[in-house]
Structure formats: structure tokens, C-alpha cells
Structure 1
Amino acid sequence: MKKKNKFMQKNEEEIKEYIHKNKLNACRTQSGLYYVIVQKGVGKIPTPNCNVSIAYIGYLTNGHIFDKSESLEINLSVVIDGWKEGLSYFKEGGEGILLVPSHLAYGSADYGSIPGGSVLIFDILLSRVF
């Protein structure tokens, strides 16, 4: 538990530093997720178990891109908690940035090229909710 708390505090500081450095107007949720709405969108709002079509780029605070897709169709029941929560702030056609602390992503374990305890950043465009 102590390790998780250490990452939570470290992630919070890392996100705040990234927001300041990049002059983002981000909102923080109670869970510790930060999000930036560039365009809210006008269509449906995703729910935790719906399907979405989304374009995204996922990267670390150092700029290292770990994943991207121009058109991913996925059910939100199988994605990280940061996406489940974060996408609920957008409507279809919405775009923005999610800054996801590790406890809402992959925790303290390494996941592919993502080191354990990492903050994940996603530039997203929510195309469709179905």
C-alpha cells in the first residue's frame, strides 16, 4: 500500500508539472484523473459499458509514444479506468487530453513498453458512441 501511495503522490506532482510546463487548462477529478477539453462534442456521452470509436495517441510525460490508433472500436468495459472515467467528460466529436495517474492505468507493474508507476497521457478524439 505504501508503494501505491508513493506513486500517487509522485504521479500527482508529475501531472501538475506537465500541465504547468505545457500551459494546459486541466480539470482534476476526485479520483486524481486530469482532463482537458479542446472540443466537447455534440453527440452521445459514453457510458462505462458502451462501444466507442476513438482516435488517440498515448504517450508518457517525457513524450515517448507507446500506442496510437486512427480508428479504434472498443468496448469501454475492457479499457483502463482512466479511459472509462475520462471519456465520460466528452460527447461524440469531442476531443481533448486525458492525464492518467498510474492507479487508474496499469499500477506499479510494467506493461509492455510502459514502466510501472507511469503517468499516461492520451490525446483523444471521440468519433462515435454506439
Structure 2
Amino acid sequence: MDGMIMAMAIGAMSSLTLGLNLEVYWAGNLTLSTIVAVVIGMVAGFFTGIAVSLMASIDGALAGVMGGMMSPMLAAMLSSPMTMVWFLDIVYIVVLIMLVALVREARQAFREEKLKEEAKRSE
């Protein structure tokens, strides 16, 4: 479950922030910024999830599609998108920090479970 959450978060947040930034950079080229954001979000989500399972990689890729479709449209609708760019960049960093904490927690739980199994075997 942790791997699926990580794949979805990486796929969605990378495509969301990238799509918004690209639409601001390539003002008026909604098609190109959407395509690039979707492809990079799919790739990031897929490769994050493939280490866990096929289902996690599919979830990550689809989260990348969702974020890549939404964020360039949001940037195109805003009259002053820089506030949203800064906000989403900060949210992206916060999410990455939370994912690092999730990995640490999952690793600790795995180690504790492994120690319990070894203790049962040695009895």
C-alpha cells in the first residue's frame, strides 16, 4: 500500500507542478505543455510504482495523466499564475518530505516484522 501511495503522489505532483510551470513558460501553448506534463507524470508514476507491483505502477501513471491534464488548464485560466506556481512548488516540496517520512516509517515496520519472524524461528 505504501508503494502505491508513493507512486500516485510522485506521478500526480510531478505532472501537476510541471504542467503549471510549463504553461506559464510556454504561455499560450496549452497542447505542448499538457502533452509534456502528462508524459513526464506518467513516466515518473510508472517507474516509482514498478518496483512495488504492476497495479502500483498503473496507479502512478494514471495519477500522472490526471495531474498533467489539470494543471496547464488551470494556468491558462489564471490572470496571474505566479502565485499558484509558487504555491504548488511549495506543496510539491512538502509532499516529497512526507514521502521520505513514509519510506522511513515503512522501512522501520519492515525491520521490526523481520526481527519478529527471526525470533519465532529461533524459538
What's the TM-score, normalizing by structure 2? 0.28
Structure whose CA Rg is larger: 2
Structure with the largest fraction of helix: 2
What's the TM-score, normalizing by structure 1? 0.27
Structure with the largest fraction of strand: 1
